[in-house]
Amino acid sequence: MRHQLECIGCRAQYPSSYTACACSSCGDLLEVTYDFNDLRESVDVSAWKSRPPSVWKYEQLLPIDGASMKITLGEGGTTLHRTTRLGELLGVKKLNVKNEGENPTGSFKDRGMTVGVSRAVEVKAKKVICASTGNTSASLAAYAAKAGLECIVIIPQGKIALGKLVQAIAHGARVIQLEVYFDDALRAVLTVVKSNPKLYLLNSVNPYRVEGQKTLAYEIWDQLEGDIPDTVIVPVGNAGNISAIWKGFQDLQEIGMISHPPRMIGIQAQGASPVTEAFKTGRSEIIPIQHPETIATAIKIGSPASWKKALRAVRDSGGIMEAVTDDEILAAQRLLARLEGVFVEPASASSIAGMKKLIEVGLVGADERVTCVVTGHGLKDPEIVSQMFEKPRTVKAGQLEFLLS
């Protein structure tokens, strides 16, 4: 679809041929913009109904030329679970959980990566790169493999879950570990990309990735037949996804498909919660955390790159930012697995933990229609399970009858 790029700070505009991820005059992030007057007329919602679930069925609202090659592994179309048992226990009557762990590489990143890597191919990039707490690297490695691109992933050494590292290696990415936190790894990558234009950056500061991820909002609209929730709760790390989902709901409003968007609630881990701090203290900027700490390694981020977009999403939607402890996260992971059969990694469970906390203090009501987004599959981080859940007993075969009587 025809589009432009616009700086979120100084509002400078760039044509779609612009390939950098930052504004050349003020350095702020960019976002993709469309002519909604045009789109209001041309978006064919009936086609949405007739096509099978997929990120690409929303192609009319994506910034890739119709004739360009789409690098796809079958992303999107994840289940929106009606979670009555969990809702009853926590005290909210209409609760849905959107399970992004069902995507091809097991996380929501695939929605962004199918669009981001298609864009890389469109602009004739040959090498793609990202810094990652794990899932971005797994996803980029897979899509780069599919596209036949060289892939480099930079990870903070010893700070990413085993399942994700294994994926990046399996898909043939060149994996480089740095002895730093994620924030410094991303900073290093941004510096390298600036001096080497042959490297195409695919972190969520790339506005094309955000476009793919916004389709989660369209899908919720589709799955609930237009009856969108009052509140959407999302785990927050580098802060790209909450910004993306908010953008998706804003698009729906722009083209007249919803009268008002839901409020967005972002949840961070207590030891890595600079956006929550800024929200609660009413500051307009975050204060980065030097040494973020949480067992939820995917969101162990002290200086989220998209903090400005996320704060805007939460404030403009009348939402909230909240933080949860590691114990609250692990308890939520367990509840979701045992009451609903949905197994997610710790970072993903932060949305459930945050909702529980907000119900307890009356900031989420019993009659509110809530959708929690869970972002990555539980098998990504098997070590945490073997630490936190009880281990199986070993007995002699002859003891079985007695044991089970």
Q: Provide the binding-site residues for ligand F0G, judged by CB under 6 A.
A: 107, 132-136, 204, 235-241, 298-299, 345, 347-348, 375-376
**For ligand F0G, the closer CB: 16 or 110:** 110
52 DSSP 8-state letter: P
Minimum Å distance from CB 49 to ligand F0G? 29
352 burial type by CB count under 10 A (0-12 exposed, 13-18 middle, 19+ buried): buried
Minimum Å distance from CB 295 to ligand F0G? 13
**For ligand F0G, the closer CB: 83 or 206:** 206
C-alpha gyration radius of the chain: 21
Q: Find all residues with CB under 8 Å of 66, minimum gap 6, and list them.
A: 1, 59
Minimum Å distance from CB 202 to ligand F0G? 10
Minimum Å distance from CB 267 to ligand F0G? 9
253-256 long-range CB contacts below 8 Å, 24 or more apart?
254/36, 254/39, 254/40, 255/36, 255/39, 255/40, 255/43, 256/40
**For ligand F0G, the closer CB: 201 or 236:** 236
**For ligand F0G, the closer CB: 262 or 378:** 378
Minimum Å distance from CB 155 to ligand F0G? 8
Minimum Å distance from CB 388 to ligand F0G? 17
Is the CB of residue 297 less than 8 Å from the CB of residue 381? yes
CA pair distance 389, 202, nearest whole angstrom:
35
Locate all alpha helices (DSSP H) within 341-399, ordered by sequence.
346-360, 382-388
**For ligand F0G, the closer CB: 255 or 304:** 304
**For ligand F0G, the closer CB: 43 or 272:** 272
Element (H, E) at 335: helix 326-340
Minimum Å distance from CB 351 to ligand F0G? 9
Element (H, E) at 182: helix 182-195
Q: Find all residues with CB under 8 Å of 219, minimum gap 6, and list them.
A: 53, 76, 77, 78, 80, 98
CA pair distance 318, 314, nearest whole angstrom:
6
**For ligand F0G, the closer CB: 328 or 345:** 345
**For ligand F0G, the closer CB: 8 or 257:** 8
Minimum Å distance from CB 355 to ligand F0G? 15
Angle at the Cα of 341 (from 373 to 162), degrees rounded to 5?
A: 70
Q: Which residue in this structure is represented by tokens 């939520």?
A: 332
